[in-house]
Amino acid sequence: MLDRLKQRWKVNELQLLLILITFAIGGSLTGYTGKKILNLLSIEKGWLWIIIYIIIICILWPLAVLLISIPFGQYRFFIKYIKKIGVRMGITPKPPKGGFQRLAIFASGAGTNAQKIIEYFEKHPSIKVSLIVCNKPGAGVLKIAEQAGVSTLIIEKERFFHGDAYIKELRDRQIDFIVLAGFLWKLPSILIKAYPSGIINIHPALLPKYGGKGLYGNFVHESVLANKEKESGISIHYVDEIYDHGEIVFQKSCPVFETDTPESLARRIHALEHEHYPRVIEEIVNLKS
């Protein structure tokens, strides 16, 4: 559970400890103060007491954890955390028009991951899928983009690798963050430098195993099965100049069975991708913004 929290909040062990301490002290302070206030109001315990107590707790808790977070050095984490809760509960107003964090999804194939990401952010208050970038004119992901009303950009190899890597088009569309979802070309360094810590990828294995040039799709699953691994999974990582090398921000495993084929293993991996990739994208973008 603690490892999952570290991945979800993108913090180290010390930060996680300080955050949990802040939660504990902030919660205790909130409960103590709430009861003191009710005692001053001289309200007898009953339904009215419970309702007022809940209201007081909801008001006091954000203030308490923010106050406690300051000496523990976690104010920045908690201010973002509380804002996120406010947006999800409809308390914090949606950002003004044009205030979205705009995503570009780079994809080369059928686009199942891209579809899940588009669906996840369809009504999101602050994150929007604004562009699908594809290197194959007939790819299924382009049909998904058309049906969802998302703009598309078809790129060609020479300009991508030896020109400006289409950075101008990305800037013109005000793209803030790039998500790779089955994109088979290695990104040129000029594009990576244009979006520092702003590009992530999902890999269908538990990196650092089974990563690198040529290890994608069923090639990964065939290698996992050939080596008789007991588990595989997904890795979400930042993109740098080396294949499947950037900092890993999230991993999730699944079992590998003796009866597995590359196709049956791929189905379980795809289920993990669809379940976790959109949520992890949301968390990373929110931390970055």
In a domain? residue 243:
yes
Same domain, 10 and 145: no
In a domain? residue 229:
yes
Same domain, 279 and 252: yes
Same domain, 113 and 254: yes
Same domain, 11 and 132: no
Residues in the chain: 289
State the pTM of this model.
Answer: 0.67
- What's the domain range around 244? 101-288
Same domain, 186 and 114: yes
pLDDT tens digits, 194-250: 998 899 999 999 999 998 888 888 899 999 999 999 999 999 999 998 888 889 999
In a domain? residue 6:
yes
Same domain, 183 and 265: yes
pLDDT of 132 above 60: yes
Helix/strand/coil for 238: strand
Same domain, 267 and 127: yes
Structure tokens at 71: 């000496």
Rg, the chain, Cα only: 23
- Per the model's pLDDT, the better-predicted residue between 172 and 88 turns out to be 172
Same domain, 107 and 74: no
In a domain? residue 146:
yes
| Domain edge (last residue) among 63, 89, 115 | 89
At residue 33, the pLDDT reads 92
> What percent of the chain is modeled with pLDDT above 70?
93
At residue 10, the pLDDT reads 65
Residues 6+ apart with CB under 8 A from 162: none
Distance CA 272, CA 233 (A): 7
In a domain? residue 94:
no
Q: Which of 203, 221, 237, 276 is catalytic?
A: 203
Burial class (CB in 10 A: 0-12, 13-18, 19+), 173: middle
Structure tokens at 28: 């205790």
At residue 7, the pLDDT reads 66
Q: Give how far Cα 60 sits from Cα of 33, 56, 229, Å.
A: 8, 6, 50
Total structural domains in the chain? 2
In a domain? residue 96:
no
Same domain, 37 and 166: no
pLDDT tens digits, 60-118: 999 999 999 999 888 878 887 887 787 667 666 555 454 689 999 999 999 999 999 99
237 annotated active-site: no
Query: Hey, what amino acid is at 95?
Result: P
Instruction: State the greatest distance between any 2 C-alpha atoms of the chain, in Å, as a whole number.
Output: 76
| Domain edge (last residue) among 39, 59, 89 | 89
Same domain, 18 and 127: no
Q: What is the mean pLDDT of residues 1-15?
A: 73
At residue 94, the pLDDT reads 55
Same domain, 7 and 110: no
Distance CA 207, CA 232 (A): 9
Lowest-confidence region among 10-14, 49-53, 115-119, 190-194: 10-14
In a domain? residue 95:
no
Report the CATH number at residue 182: 3.40.50.170
pLDDT of 256 above 60: yes
Which DSSP state fits 126? S
Same domain, 130 and 8: no
In a domain? residue 265:
yes
Q: Are 269 and 232 contacting, i.e. CB atoms less than 8 angstroms apart?
A: yes
> What percent of the chain is modeled with pLDDT above 90?
62
| Domain edge (last residue) among 53, 69, 89 | 89
The band of 133, judged by pLDDT with boundaries at 50, 70 and 90, is: very high
